[in-house]
Structure 1
């Protein structure tokens, strides 16, 4: 069976493509002309150049039975508001319309727990929770919510669409890197003397890839499935990294008002003057509240694997070091 994949050059997409090939699927991957193809190097994948908003995208999908729409633009910079809407919302609308026109039998749409929102005071939430659009912090989260609505509307019109909501994946091939990968890199580079008192749900990126394939095979059309595993405070994650690497974990927290102030100056004063901001304001606002999720539905209905996070963390550390993202010091155990 032939599948069409958007976002195959990215972190989750690259692992999904590898899994699909291992499971005997033929893969056609949509990539932008400017995409870094390193994550697809050496794989037997048919590469097609194009854009999510291409009105003739359906022609590229012809002959494929299934679609995995993984591609999305990620940014927490407020200046990227229009780009986020163009790629994530309008792009998803066009991709789903193309799938319908091309006769795609079943689509798995990659949303995010960002579209679900968060519970109050660190409450663990599941797929039944939904924060109001106006309560979602950042234009990225709002764009993912609106894009998910496009998938729901496509289902209402008769398309077979299953929605998956990954939490924070960890592992190799984090080429950009993702926010979680950035935390790991900052730890390895000794750029994290303090930490915010927050938390996230983490999962091995290979389990996320399996969650996509299992959603195709077993998911209920129109439903959404959180692809997550373990809720950890940022302190607990850093302590696991310390155990893996032998590096010391930061011991002191920083009050939220301090990075908030730095981020406000970055985005509102320095950026308009042409200087590159270093801390996104929305990123700090998001981190003020733990983002904890319950993936029991995906485990129960899909059979989502729950691999040990420590293995994924070591894979990420090893990969970042091997790829030259960080130079290992004598302190490293690896």
Structure 2
């Protein structure tokens, strides 16, 4: 990935551990601003300690260090999981930080409270709240959303249920962060929800990407939640797909919308279609698989 980034200009790499204070100090040395996106993303409980170390405590430390050094802006990438469930049914920049139901949500909520306290003190801390990010990877491993639908793509079978998810094109997420990196604008919070797709719309987009039908099997909500709870217990001992968790099922069934009005207005943006991003992601993965079978390098 670094080789691809270097095509845009010189890149200085500082190797270190985000949980090591000395490494954080070295990383911030000479910096004018910060984009903090280090995190452990997951909807299961297998890496609880690591999530607390990285998502919560390391984020707290680097935000305080950056503010003390006068960096502007100090941007940290949160998640709309930190705001779920919202008190009024819609996630917005004014939604209070949630308690969190899973280890991931709890750790992101902890970091969000840290960021908001700094904002209350007037620090130029910017927080972004991406939803389910979709689209082709940029020389990186598949994201949690793509890993979640991987079994559906592999076996061409999916549950039929009432639910949906906010989804956003990865390029829009990148544009939000690029446009938010302007000094002198003070504390900001940007919800990056994208578009609310119902579950069947997402499956239809996967079908378009695969260019084949996906069989639907009706699954009642109670059955899905029960299976997800069982998966959480099993996941403590064996690795399971990210989509098989109680938090993932709860988010899907809730189909909670977001209010991105302030983000779009403040940054002068319009969201791309997440459907097109899903299709491009599936087709890109298929093309990469064919290259690997032929022994060609994957770009």
Q: TM-score, normalised by structure 1?
A: 0.75
Q: Is the Cα–Cα contact under 8 Å of residues 118 and 131 in structure 1 kept in the other structure?
A: no
* 1:50-107 Cα distance to aligned partner (Å, 9 max, x none): 1222212122222221110111111222243322111111011111123234442321
CA spacing shift, 1:310–1:219, aligned 2, 3 Å: farther
Structure 2: stretches of 5+ with no match in the other structure = 294-299
Aligned equivalents of 1:219, 1:195: Cα separation in 2: 48
SS of 1:177's partner is coil
CA spacing shift, 1:298–1:326, aligned 2, 3 Å: farther
- Alpha-carbon shift at residue 184 of structure 1 (Å): 4.3
Equivalence for 2:267: 302
Aligned equivalents of 1:297, 1:167: Cα separation in 2: 16
Aligned equivalents of 2:41, 2:149: Cα separation in 1: 18
* 1:214-259 Cα distance to aligned partner (Å, 9 max, x none): 2223895333111122111111111123234322144333123334
Work out whether 1:63 is the aligned partner of 2:30. Answer: yes
Structure 1: stretches of 5+ with no match in the other structure = 1-38, 329-334
- Alpha-carbon shift at residue 147 of structure 1 (Å): 0.5
Q: Is the Cα–Cα contact under 8 Å of residues 62 and 103 in structure 1 kept in the other structure?
A: no
Matching residue within 185, 203, 220 for 2:150: 185
Summarize the alignment of residues 60-209 of structure 1 with structure 2, pairs less than 5 Å apart: 60-119=27-86, 123-130=89-96, 132-133=98-99, 136-173=100-137, 175-209=140-174
Q: Is the Cα–Cα contact under 8 Å of residues 134 and 277 in structure 2 kept in the other structure?
A: yes
Q: Is the Cα–Cα contact under 8 Å of residues 156 and 213 in structure 2 kept in the other structure?
A: no
66-75 or 78-87, larger mean C-alpha shift:
78-87
Summarize the alignment of residues 43-54 of structure 1 with structure 2, pairs less than 5 Å apart: 43-44=5-6, 45-54=11-20
Work out whether 1:41 is the aligned partner of 2:3. Answer: yes
- Alpha-carbon shift at residue 181 of structure 1 (Å): 1.0
Aligned equivalents of 2:62, 2:263: Cα separation in 1: 25
SS of 2:200's partner is helix
CA spacing shift, 1:220–1:167, aligned 2, 3 Å: farther
* 1:8-54 Cα distance to aligned partner (Å, 9 max, x none): xxxxxxxxxxxxxxxxxxxxxxxxxxxxxxx3234322221112222
Q: Is the Cα–Cα contact under 8 Å of residues 158 and 215 in structure 2 kept in the other structure?
A: yes
Summarize the alignment of residues 274-285 of structure 1 with structure 2, pairs less than 5 Å apart: 274-277=237-240, 279-285=244-250
Aligned equivalents of 2:61, 2:290: Cα separation in 1: 36
What count of residue pairs does the alignment treat as equivalent?
285
Matching residue within 222, 234, 251 for 1:286: 251
Summarize the alignment of residues 254-265 of structure 1 with structure 2, pairs less than 5 Å apart: 254-265=219-230
Q: Is the Cα–Cα contact under 8 Å of residues 166 and 193 in structure 2 kept in the other structure?
A: yes
Aligned equivalents of 1:218, 1:306: Cα separation in 2: 24
- Alpha-carbon shift at residue 149 of structure 1 (Å): 1.2
CA spacing shift, 1:165–1:49, aligned 2, 3 Å: same
Q: Is the Cα–Cα contact under 8 Å of residues 118 and 292 in structure 1 kept in the other structure?
A: no
Q: TM-score, normalised by structure 2?
A: 0.83
Aligned equivalents of 1:90, 1:190: Cα separation in 2: 39
Equivalence for 2:296: none
Equivalence for 1:221: 186
